[in-house]
Amino acid sequence: MLAINVDSVYSHKIWNEVELAKMADMNIPYPMLSDGTGNIGRLFDVYDQQSGKTLRGTFIIDPQGYVHGMELLTNPIGRCPGEILRQLKAFQNYVSTGEMAPCDWQPGEKTIVQSIENSGNIWKQWKPEKTQQ
């Protein structure tokens, strides 16, 4: 896991020590990289040339470099670390079992087996929980 944006290394250090450490009672547990030129942001098409900033993007990339998930948000919208972790665990579960995770899946819950027999019959195995608003 990496955090990458156009902010300077110094800015990352201050954010980690002054903001994050107070919010979460800890330092960020993964590297923060500075992409001052926006080159990495351009590779993932999240760099905004006009503002000189990157969009908030989360990418799940396997060791072979294939992108299996991505989410882009504008800067005013915060991300949910719990949802990012859930998606990562769902992908890791798929890699180890070949079984798909339905929406809102959590580790240990029932997964969906891909098969000809299940085609058109997923509804028999899984139904989304209705949430109250």
| pLDDT, mean of residues 87-114 | 90
pTM, to two decimals = 0.74
Report the C-alpha gap between 21 and 17 in whole angstroms.
Answer: 5
- Of these ranges, 16-25, 67-76, 91-100, 103-112, the one predicted with the greatest mean pLDDT is 91-100
Give the model's pLDDT for residue 41.
Answer: 93
pLDDT of residue 132: 46
- Domains for the chain: give ranges and CATH numbers: 1-79 (3.40.30.10), 80-128 (no CATH)
Question: 16: which DSSP letter?
Answer: I
For residues 44-81, one letter each, b for 16 or more C-beta atoms within 10 angstroms of the residue's C-beta and e for the rest, the string is bebbeeeeebbbbbbebeeeeeeeeeeeeeeeeeeeee
SS (H, E, C) 19-49: HHHHHHCCCCCCCEEECCCCHHHHHCCCEEC
Q: Is the pLDDT of residue 133 over 70?
A: no
Token pair recorded at residue 32: 């923060």
